[in-house]
Amino acid sequence: MKEYSVVGKSLPRIDGVAKATGEAKYTADLELPGMLHGKILRSPYPHAKILNIDTSKAQRLRGVRAVITGKDTAGKTIGWIPELPQTMDELGLAMDKVRYTGDAMAAVAAIDEEEALEALNLIRVDYEELPAVFDPVEAMRPDAPKIHDVEHNICHKILLNFGDTEKGFKESDHVREDRFITQKRYHCAMEPRASIASIDSSGKLTIWATLQSTYFFRRDLAKLLDLPERMVRVIRPYIGGGFGGKHEVLPLDFCAALLSKKSGKPVKILHTREEDLIASRQKHPSIVEVKTGVKKDGIFVASEVKAVFDTGAYAAFAPIVVYMGGGYLSLVYRMPNIRYEGYCVYTNKSIASAHRGFGNQQTRFAVESQIDMIAEDLGLDPVEIRLKNVTQPGDITPCKYKITTNGLAECIQKAAEKSGWKEKRGKMQGNQGIGIACTGYVVSARALVPHDSSAAFVKLDENGTVTLIAGAVDIGQGSDTTLSQIVAEELGIALEDVRMMAPDTEMSPIDLGSYASRVTFISGNAAREAAKDAKQQLFEAVAGKLEANIEDLEARDRRIYVKGSPEKGISFIDAVLTSQFSGKPILGRGYYDPPTEMPNPITGDGNVSATYSFGATVAEVKVDKETGKVRILKMTAAQDVGFAINPQACEGQIEGSIADSLGQTLYEEVIEEEGNVLNPTLLDYRIPRASEMPEVECILVETLDPEGPFGAKGMSEATAVPPVPAIANAIYDAVGVRIKELPITPQKILKALEEKGGGKR
């Protein structure tokens, strides 16, 4: 492998100190001159007609500067799939009726938060309560209360059908059916949603907000406000975590903008933690039924998966989440016959949408749990059955995903080896067990708009600083560092020489944002192209001076020199000056749109990603049979990262995913009763604690993807998927109970142990 100076190194994050010391300022920290504070009035009912809203008293309150209701809005809806009109179902502020407890109906801006809260209390709303439905299966019944104007409250149905599953089951030696349930979860980013909007007298909006994509944020906010996009400028402050929960414009963004317009002042709206938990976005709870047919040697033949995703009051990203929950099913293991039926169903509950794993965590928990059950049925080792079925480089899945590099088999082998699988599986004492599960994931997804592009500009300053101007949004994953490393490597300078500008739609070029593990791959390619372009310009400027051909030049150690003759060169700064004073200030341009396709709207197939990321995770657990408590002893995660631009950052992503998965597997659940969230605080909503983090061993498998920057792939989101079933499988290995419903609480384990009548060993 070529020797690199900056990429492939575990360099500290460029924003590390600022974030650790509190120097980094988030939206909530920002103040604008004359700024007002906004608050949102939310529905106390899960389902009700709004008969009348009287804001007159609130408007007369001394410190109040603006009050808005649905009447003040343009009546535009938000939604992700204009091709599916039923999904364009969410207004900026509810007008005719409210559909969940927390639905936004009105908002006020006042001189401070206290005054704004007082004003909310003075708004009188007359409701007519409507019958509500909270269970997705009940919601699909013909007599269920109708939440939107769709049949059976089914927002959208996805059908993927490849091969012939009926025939496949007939040809199978063994068929089993299982049903799995996953819970509703809250993203719980450290930073709750926040927004500061300022509309000037020309009607132009500037907004600082918690977001994962300035591109979609601008597009959707402009639509909701009925403004041309050019009248909306979106700036990214520091973002304190996203996990899919900051991808969408929410009422707070919309209300901040509208209140600013009405008051003529900047308006800040902050979600309280409670509001954020109830009224931002959540992860879809799901019911997943899996029927799988295999040959007796363990080779998979056919699979049918039926999944019901409960999206709550509005569609949000649900249709795409439901699609992805099925599309990835045949990415990990070869499955010639596969049928997926996915539903997203409305209920009168808070809204589910994108969340790390994007439908995949739900279905893969089911599938990977069932694989272990099948292996046991057939007397096969879980590692063995997986290795028999894994996809290989060059495979094209039934969904027409074209697999190029694929380190899955190596990941399974290395994770098994490093964890001591052979010595441990089925042999651990003291209620300890070991389990494995795998993952396959997109690296970007051409699914939201017909392109999947990112661009970047690289400006060279005469003081030797290089500015990367790009729209890629670092929401905490460290991509600003990774992209800066790519630019530094390409230009032969140090990481500290690169400054990454905060994305600002007025300045930065197109970038769809942070989702689907796309930033390193897509924005990274764009940044590299821009740096290459700048380097080319540098070389052109100095080739004459160095009496060399451009193709013989090399940039390294802050110098430009003739390859092989480092002494014959000039400094990077001198090269920049040479170009600048010959009339060419250096600015590189880069762009990348991967060679992928939109899924076919009818059949659902299409190569949505230019490469795919694979991995395997081994969990070791100890179960306390008295209390039902599970302790994770160690996690071993092997992930095909293509090439690790920053190994420590990759490891950080894996560790983060494991922390996230602990919550998903063992602790977290948004508990709702009659549409009311019963645990909307961090005292009651239980996320994993630092003391519960196990030892994590990360194995970075490098397959050097030919399409990726320096061979890198996106890998983050993939790593959030396998720990969940791996832990469930390890629990089974430890105490012989199979829990099919998340989270795996002590109660469920105790109940299962009781039903089983004693432990396995």
Residue 163 makes CB contacts below 8 A (sequence gap 6+) with 302, 336, 337, 338, 398
CB-based contact 473:212 (threshold 8 Å): yes
Q: Does 112 bind a second copy (CB under 8 A)?
A: no
Q: Does 505 bind a second copy (CB under 8 A)?
A: yes
- The DSSP 8-state label assigned to residue 56 in this structure reads H
Cα 607-613-616 angle, rounded to 5 deg: 135
CB-based contact 743:445 (threshold 8 Å): no
Q: Which amino acid is at 67?
A: V
Taking the alpha carbons of 19, 21, 22, 23 in that order, is the dihedral positive or negative? negative
Nearer to a second copy, 420 or 585 (CB): 585
Taking the alpha carbons of 4, 7, 8, 11 in that order, is the dihedral positive or negative? positive
Nearer to a second copy, 63 or 464 (CB): 464
Nearer to a second copy, 529 or 672 (CB): 529
Q: Does 4 bind a second copy (CB under 8 A)?
A: no
For residue 18, how many other CB atoms are within 10 A of its CB?
13
CA distance 89 to 504: 29
Pairing of strands 194-199, 205-209: antiparallel
CA distance 308 to 77: 25
Pairing of strands 232-235, 205-209: parallel
Q: Residue 569 CB, nearest distance to a second copy (Å)?
A: 21
Binding window for a second copy (CB under 8 A); candidates: 62-70, 413-421, 457-465, 745-753: 457-465
Q: Which amino acid is at 325?
A: G
First to last CA, the chain: 49
Q: Residue 134 CB, nearest distance to a second copy (Å)?
A: 41
Q: Residue 68 CB, nearest distance to a second copy (Å)?
A: 21
Nearer to a second copy, 171 or 574 (CB): 574
Q: Does 525 bind a second copy (CB under 8 A)?
A: no
Kindly identify the residues of this chain, within the stretch 205-234, that bind a second copy according to CB under 8 A.
228-230
**DSSP of 304-337:** EEEEEEEEETS-TTHHHHHHHHHHTHHHHB--SE
Please select the residue that binds a second copy; options are 67, 108, 249, 455, rule is CB under 8 A: 455
Q: Does 497 bind a second copy (CB under 8 A)?
A: yes
Q: Does 161 bind a second copy (CB under 8 A)?
A: no
Q: What are phi and psi of 750, to 5 degrees?
A: -60, -40
Residue 509 makes CB contacts below 8 A (sequence gap 6+) with 455, 456, 457, 469, 470, 471, 591
Distances (CA, A) of 737 to 142, 286, 381, 625, 632: 37, 21, 17, 11, 16
Nearer to a second copy, 596 or 676 (CB): 596
Please select the residue that binds a second copy; options are 2, 21, 82, 83, rule is CB under 8 A: 21
Please select the residue that binds a second copy; options are 114, 200, 674, 684, rule is CB under 8 A: 200
x/- letters, 25..54, toward a second copy (CB under 8 A):
x---xxxxx---------------------
CB-based contact 720:660 (threshold 8 Å): yes
Q: Which amino acid is at 695?
A: E
Q: Does 510 bind a second copy (CB under 8 A)?
A: yes
CB-based contact 610:670 (threshold 8 Å): no
CB-based contact 107:255 (threshold 8 Å): yes
Please select the residue that binds a second copy; options are 77, 389, 413, 465, rule is CB under 8 A: 465
Nearer to a second copy, 562 or 587 (CB): 587
CA distance 17 to 247: 26
Kindly identify the residues of this chain, within the stretch 230-259, that bind a second copy according to CB under 8 A.
230
Please select the residue that binds a second copy; options are 51, 117, 159, 507, rule is CB under 8 A: 507
Please select the residue that binds a second copy; options are 145, 163, 585, 694, rule is CB under 8 A: 585
Binding window for a second copy (CB under 8 A); candidates: 146-154, 160-168, 396-404, 455-463: 455-463
Nearer to a second copy, 431 or 505 (CB): 505
CA distance 318 to 88: 12
CB-based contact 616:657 (threshold 8 Å): no
Nearer to a second copy, 202 or 747 (CB): 202
Please select the residue that binds a second copy; options are 583, 683, 755, 757, rule is CB under 8 A: 583
Please select the residue that binds a second copy; options are 326, 407, 509, 711, rule is CB under 8 A: 509
Nearer to a second copy, 316 or 498 (CB): 498
Q: Does 449 bind a second copy (CB under 8 A)?
A: no
Q: Residue 507 CB, nearest distance to a second copy (Å)?
A: 6
Q: Residue 604 CB, nearest distance to a second copy (Å)?
A: 24
Q: Residue 707 CB, nearest distance to a second copy (Å)?
A: 14
Q: Does 532 bind a second copy (CB under 8 A)?
A: no
Q: Does 447 bind a second copy (CB under 8 A)?
A: no
Q: Residue 341 CB, nearest distance to a second copy (Å)?
A: 35
Please select the residue that binds a second copy; options are 17, 117, 159, 682, rule is CB under 8 A: 17
For residue 678, how many other CB atoms are within 10 A of its CB?
11
Q: Residue 648 CB, nearest distance to a second copy (Å)?
A: 19
Please select the residue that binds a second copy; options are 51, 581, 674, 682, rule is CB under 8 A: 581
Q: Residue 493 CB, nearest distance to a second copy (Å)?
A: 11
Pairing of strands 300-312, 454-460: unpaired
Please select the residue that binds a second copy; options are 593, 651, 672, 702, rule is CB under 8 A: 593
CA distance 490 to 486: 6
CB-based contact 148:86 (threshold 8 Å): yes
Q: What are phi and psi of 73, to 5 degrees?
A: -90, 165
Nearer to a second copy, 202 or 429 (CB): 202
Binding window for a second copy (CB under 8 A); candidates: 23-31, 54-62, 406-414, 736-744: 23-31
Residue 8 makes CB contacts below 8 A (sequence gap 6+) with 643, 644, 645, 647, 710
Nearer to a second copy, 181 or 502 (CB): 502
* Beta bridge pairs of residue 305: 290, 340
Please select the residue that binds a second copy; options are 201, 429, 691, 747, rule is CB under 8 A: 201
Binding window for a second copy (CB under 8 A); candidates: 51-59, 105-113, 504-512, 630-638: 504-512
Q: Does 587 bind a second copy (CB under 8 A)?
A: yes
Peptide bond before residue 585 is cis, with ω within 30 degrees of 0: no
Q: How many residues does the chain have?
A: 761
How many residues bind a second copy (CB under 8 A)? The answer is: 46
CB-based contact 283:670 (threshold 8 Å): no
Binding window for a second copy (CB under 8 A); candidates: 151-159, 183-191, 460-468, 540-548: 460-468
Please select the residue that binds a second copy; options are 501, 562, 704, 750, rule is CB under 8 A: 501
Binding stretches for a second copy (CB under 8 A): 17-18, 21, 23, 25, 29-33, 200-202, 228-230, 451, 453, 455, 457, 459, 461-465, 467, 469, 497, 499, 501, 505-507, 509-510, 580-581, 583-585, 587, 589, 591-593
